[in-house]
């Protein structure tokens, strides 16, 4: 199933090019009371939500997907984790052209490192950085360079710690397209990658049963109609089961937690006024604007 959050707080079920408003299905989620459990309640209760979603009567005139405002389908992860340098050609691009990444992440320390996320671990992005296509990317430091990083976002469904590779995929609830927006520079990655709107998720959350092989998805990113990134998720260096094993070796993973799996080659700067389009097999596509932070 493909769930979206649209027009602020409506829950949508996407079928083809229409969105069914299934907001009443949220009644399947238990009421929350302090202290609120870690994680996203929608993902934590996904089987009940999917069952309820099937029962909500469909409107005779559903909205067109192209006509709704899409917000992030994931709202309350306990953390957003991200893999550094997880596509070989991305690392080579930056290493060959120091101008691409002045003083940035892909320094000499990555040369000769076969599996960077094993050596350097995953990094965290503030959960307040999450946005959807409707918000777009809001540039906070216009004098600095902000790059797009197109990534497959894996959403954790079942909590776990020290998850073994062999069992890792059973902990995946589904997938989104992710944008790991990044200010280039010398500050810690968690600072440069965590401004508001610098983690765009969408256009929807696709349950894992719809994506039989998440390592065989073609994904692309265009800026103002020019294709900048185009790759297959099969090119990632450390695959999803190993990323889950690495992450859960230190963190307990909670429902709704997001793992950004790294970006392929072709990253580049965006400026206010740019229009970014992203697409991925099985996950759909979305278009968003780059603007100044208000």
Q: Which residues bind Mn ion (CB under 5 A)?
A: 149, 180, 263
CA 163 remoteness from chain centre? 21
**Cα(179)–Cα(8) distance, rounded to whole angstroms?**
20
In the complex, what is the shortest distance from the CB of residue 157 to Mn ion, in angstroms, rounded to a whole number?
Answer: 22
In the complex with Mn ion, which residue's Cβ is closer, 52 or 153? 153
In the complex with Mn ion, which residue's Cβ is closer, 188 or 209? 188
Q: What sign has the CA pseudo-torsion 4, 74, 189, 192? A: positive
Which residue number is nearest to Mn ion in terms of Cβ? 180
**Cα(263)–Cα(87) distance, rounded to whole angstroms?**
6
In the complex, what is the shortest distance from the CB of residue 59 to Mn ion, in angstroms, rounded to a whole number?
Answer: 39
**Cα(243)–Cα(195) distance, rounded to whole angstroms?**
24
In the complex, what is the shortest distance from the CB of residue 21 to Mn ion, in angstroms, rounded to a whole number?
Answer: 33
**Cα(250)–Cα(1) distance, rounded to whole angstroms?**
31
In the complex with Mn ion, which residue's Cβ is closer, 171 or 192? 192
In the complex, what is the shortest distance from the CB of residue 291 to Mn ion, in angstroms, rounded to a whole number?
Answer: 21
In the complex with Mn ion, which residue's Cβ is closer, 194 or 263? 263
In the complex, what is the shortest distance from the CB of residue 82 to Mn ion, in angstroms, rounded to a whole number?
Answer: 5
In the complex, what is the shortest distance from the CB of residue 65 to Mn ion, in angstroms, rounded to a whole number?
Answer: 27
Best CA proximity match to 151, nearest among 213, 87, 197, 205: 87
In the complex with Mn ion, which residue's Cβ is closer, 220 or 263? 263
* Residue 156 · residue 253 · CB < 8 Å: yes
In the complex with Mn ion, which residue's Cβ is closer, 21 or 101? 101
* Residue 190 · residue 123 · CB < 8 Å: yes
**Cα(230)–Cα(279) distance, rounded to whole angstroms?**
10
């Amino acid at each position: 199933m493909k769930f979206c959050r649209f027009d602020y707080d409506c829950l949508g079920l996407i079928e083809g090019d229409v969105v069914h408003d299934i907001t009443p299905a949220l009644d399947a989620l238990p009421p929350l009371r302090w202290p609120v459990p870690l994680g996203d309640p929608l993902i934590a209760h996904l089987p009940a939500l999917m069952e309820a979603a099937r029962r909500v009567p469909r409107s005779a005139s559903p909205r067109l997907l192209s006509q709704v405002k899409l917000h992030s389908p994931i709202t309350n992860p306990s953390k957003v984790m991200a893999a550094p340098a997880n596509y070989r050609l991305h690392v080579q691009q930056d290493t060959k052209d120091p101008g691409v990444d002045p003083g940035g992440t892909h320094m000499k320390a990555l040369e000769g490192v076969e599996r960077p996320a094993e050596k350097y671990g995953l990094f965290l992005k503030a959960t307040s950085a999450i946005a959807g296509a409707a918000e777009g990317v809001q540039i906070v430091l216009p004098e600095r360079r902000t790059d797009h990083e197109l990534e497959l976002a894996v959403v954790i469904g079942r909590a776990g710690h020290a998850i073994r590779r062999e069992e890792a995929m059973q902990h995946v609830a589904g997938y989104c397209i992710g944008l790991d927006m990044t200010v280039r520079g010398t500050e810690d990655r968690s600072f440069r990658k965590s401004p508001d709107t610098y983690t765009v998720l969408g256009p929807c959350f696709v349950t894992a049963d719809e994506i039989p092989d998440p390592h065989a998805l073609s994904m692309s990113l265009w800026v103002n109609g020019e294709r900048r990134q185009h790759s297959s998720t099969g090119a990632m260096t450390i695959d999803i089961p190993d990323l889950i094993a690495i992450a859960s070796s230190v963190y307990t993973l909670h429902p709704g937690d997001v793992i950004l799996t790294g970006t392929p080659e072709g990253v580049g700067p965006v400026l206010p006024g740019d229009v970014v389009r992203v697409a991925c097999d099985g996950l759909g596509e979305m278009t968003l604007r780059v603007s100044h932070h208000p």
